[in-house]
């Protein structure tokens, strides 16, 4: 059977773990998937996408800084991509039209609920950040019906805009926005979705957001404990997770969207962790 071609597109892309993850999925499932990494020029993402599909490519993952462009370029969007305002998964439909999907939010929720055993229903959740990464996960988090969801951001107006955007999906969840310093009281789950650690920064939230049983989740991952998770541990949090599981889970959902086959994620997470 000849392999079908998939790839991740970004700039830069050499650090991406997606080729390794999807190769592991392919060998595990026996699906004829060949998955590479493509660095698109910053000024020609759309040409790169067109060219990939013209030469027979079957599906793309999209990463920084092209997720919004992928969303704009697509002719159709899945409902979860529509709301996310960004796409990490592209494919052609039966008519050859470009479809955008977003599997990031589902990836985060699956990692929390299935891999870490954290059911979100009824929890008091604090999300730090109000950029593209956070917008992408709010819909799937709200779908789990937490008791409250507070979005704290350096630029409060951006957190307030997200509250307005997602108000219609909040159901019984109390949805609100504030600045980092105003985050008050302890939360059951704190999710760091800022890119502060890329600059070696910490969002200046008070340590009182943490109780002993607070679950802390950094959407970033790194070989060592992330800056945010180290801060949380130093302030008494005992259950801290990084975003490696989210990365593998979003990949698994993309694989499922493309192939109709759901890979096992646990062995792949274990393998990446031991690299
Ligand atoms: P991403 O795609 O990673 O979400 P983004 O859309 O640029 O990237 O959003 C980055 C997020 O991290 C924003 O919430 C940003 O805060 P602002 O909205 O105020 O810009 C936050 N962020 C970036 N650097 C930060 C820092 N040094 N301290 C705190 N928050 C930071």
Spatial CA neighbour of 25 closest among 274, 242, 249: 249
User: What is the CA(132)–ligand 1 centre distance, in A?
Assistant: 9
Which residue's C-alpha comes closest to atom 14 of ligand 1? 129
Per-residue pLDDT band at 235 (split at 50, 70, 90): very high
pLDDT in tens, 248-270: 999 999 999 999 999 999 999 99
Per-residue pLDDT band at 197 (split at 50, 70, 90): confident
State the DSSP string of 31-46.
--EEEEEEE--TT-HH
pLDDT in tens, 80-127: 999 999 999 999 999 999 999 999 999 999 999 999 999 999 999 999
User: What is the CA(134)–ligand 1 centre distance, in A?
Assistant: 9
Residue 170 has phi, psi (to 5 degrees) of: -80, -25
Establish whether residue 197 lines the binding site of ligand 1, counting it when its CB lies within 6 angstroms of any ligand atom: no
Q: State the catalytic residue, choosing from 67, 83, 121, 158.
A: 67
Question: What distance in Å separates the CA atoms of residue 82 and residue 136, rounded to the nearest whole number?
Answer: 10
Establish whether residue 84 lines the binding site of ligand 1, counting it when its CB lies within 6 angstroms of any ligand atom: no
pLDDT the model gives residue 28: 98
User: What is the CA(88)–ligand 1 centre distance, in A?
Assistant: 19
pLDDT in tens, 123-149: 999 999 999 999 999 999 999 999 999
């Amino acid at each position: 059977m000849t392999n079908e071609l998939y790839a991740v597109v970004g700039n830069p892309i050499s650090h991406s773990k997606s080729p390794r993850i999807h190769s592991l999925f392919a060998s595990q499932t026996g699906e004829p998937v060949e998955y590479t990494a493509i660095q698109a020029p910053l000024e020609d993402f759309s040409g790169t996408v067109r060219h990939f599909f013209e030469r027979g490519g079957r599906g793309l993952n999209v990463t920084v800084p092209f997720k919004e462009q992928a969303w704009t370029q697509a002719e159709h969007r899945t409902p979860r991509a529509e709301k996310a305002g960004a796409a990490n998964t592209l494919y052609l439909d039966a008519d050859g039209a470009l479809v955008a999907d977003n599997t990031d939010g589902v990836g985060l929720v699956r990692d929390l609920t299935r891999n870490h055993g954290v059911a979100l229903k009824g929890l008091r959740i604090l999300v730090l950040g109000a950029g593209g990464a956070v917008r992408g996960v709010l819909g799937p988090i709200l779908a789990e019906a937490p008791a409250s969801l507070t979005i704290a951001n350096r630029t409060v107006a951006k957190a307030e805009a997200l509250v307005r955007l997602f108000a219609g999906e909040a159901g019984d969840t109390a949805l609100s926005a504030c600045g980092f310093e105003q985050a008050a009281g302890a939360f059951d789950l704190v999710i760091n979705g800022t890119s502060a650690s890329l600059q070696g920064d910490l969002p200046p939230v008070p340590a009182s957001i943490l109780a002993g049983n607070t679950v802390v989740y950094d959407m970033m991952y790194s070989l060592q404990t992330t800056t945010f998770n180290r801060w949380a541990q130093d302030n008494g949090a005992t259950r801290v997770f990084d975003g490696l599981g989210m990365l593998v889970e979003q990949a698994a959902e993309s694989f499922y969207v493309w192939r109709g086959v759901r890979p096992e994620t646990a062995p792949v997470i274990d393998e990446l962790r031991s690299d």
